[in-house]
């Protein structure tokens, strides 16, 4: 029975789950990954250039198969053999295992970009559907082209176009030309986000309220008393 001391003395090899989950996606076979893992285990214990014969015995594979695995990994950029100077000033060979992490990082970036593209396509699809819902009909080819120009040429964000549509609907103006004027007005004010639109609407509302207050003040202002002078009888002057 394995004792706790033997277990602790053997040490542990810790590798990121990203490597385990993605080694096949970056092009490694099970056998290649197991060989790389053996190199990783050896380096974790401080052996930067492990004996391939020892790894051959652990994996139960002929040494020529192990050399073939190593050459495959080097050729395809998963492994780099480097010569470095150690702390004693001696030159020694090492295996650089970092390229596999770089390949996984690149894979993650591509997956993120793909997810963004899918999300963007869905957002644009919902934008067109929003127009058709508010207009109560299908958009004409000219209208589709105009919305496309807003997105691709003017680079308006879908969220901003949706807000302009909402403002047009509130004003019962079911016209893309009207919406275009709204977008142009916002562009001149450097308005590009939902928060800026809300702030602009709040500011305009305050201006309107102030004008109403001023107009009401003018209407309720008492008529100034004008002194009437009686030129025929000065004593009767008010």
Query: Domain 4-97: which CATH class?
Result: mainly alpha
Mean pLDDT of 101-128: 94
| 40 in Cβ contact with 62 (< 8 Å) | no
Residues contacting residue 135 through CB under 8 Å, at least 6 positions apart:
174
User: How many angstroms separate the Cα of 46 from the Cα of each of 17, 40, 69?
Assistant: 22, 10, 22
Residues contacting residue 33 through CB under 8 Å, at least 6 positions apart:
23, 24
| 38 in Cβ contact with 55 (< 8 Å) | yes
pLDDT at position 232: 43
What whole-number distance in Å separates Cα of residue 167 and Cα of residue 137?
Answer: 19
Q: Give tens-digit pLDDT for 169-206.
A: 999 999 999 999 999 999 999 999 989 999 988 988 88
pLDDT at 125 > cutoff 90: yes
DSSP three-state, residue 163: helix
Higher pLDDT, 127 or 223: 127
Residue-range domain boundaries for the chain: 4-97, 118-212
Q: Which CATH superfamily is domain 118-212 in?
A: DnaD domain-like (1.10.10.630)
């Amino acid at each position: 029975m394995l004792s706790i001391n033997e277990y602790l003395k053997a040490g542990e090899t810790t590798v990121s789950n990203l490597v385990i989950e993605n080694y096949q996606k970056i092009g490694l076979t099970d056998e290649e990954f197991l060989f790389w893992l053996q190199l990783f285990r050896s380096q974790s214990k401080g052996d930067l250039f492990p004996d391939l014969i020892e790894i051959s015995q652990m994996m139960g594979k002929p040494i020529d198969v192990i050399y073939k695995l190593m050459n495959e990994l080097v050729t395809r950029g998963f492994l780099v053999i480097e010569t470095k100077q150690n702390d004693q000033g001696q030159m020694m060979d090492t295996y650089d295992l970092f390229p596999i992490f770089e390949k996984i990082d690149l894979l993650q970036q591509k997956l993120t970009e793909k997810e963004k593209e899918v999300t963007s396509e869905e957002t644009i699809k919902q934008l067109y559907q929003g127009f058709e819902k508010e207009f109560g009909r299908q958009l004409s080819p000219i209208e589709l082209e105009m919305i496309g120009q807003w997105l691709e040429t003017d680079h308006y964000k879908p969220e901003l176009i949706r807000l302009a549509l909402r403002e047009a609907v509130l004003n019962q103006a079911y016209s893309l030309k009207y919406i275009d004027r709204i977008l142009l007005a916002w562009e001149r004010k450097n308005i590009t986000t939902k928060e800026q639109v809300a702030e602009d609407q709040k500011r305009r509302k305050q201006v309107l309220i102030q004008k109403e207050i001023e107009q009401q003040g003018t209407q309720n202002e008492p008529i100034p008393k004008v002194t009437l002078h009686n030129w025929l009888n000065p004593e009767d002057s008010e």
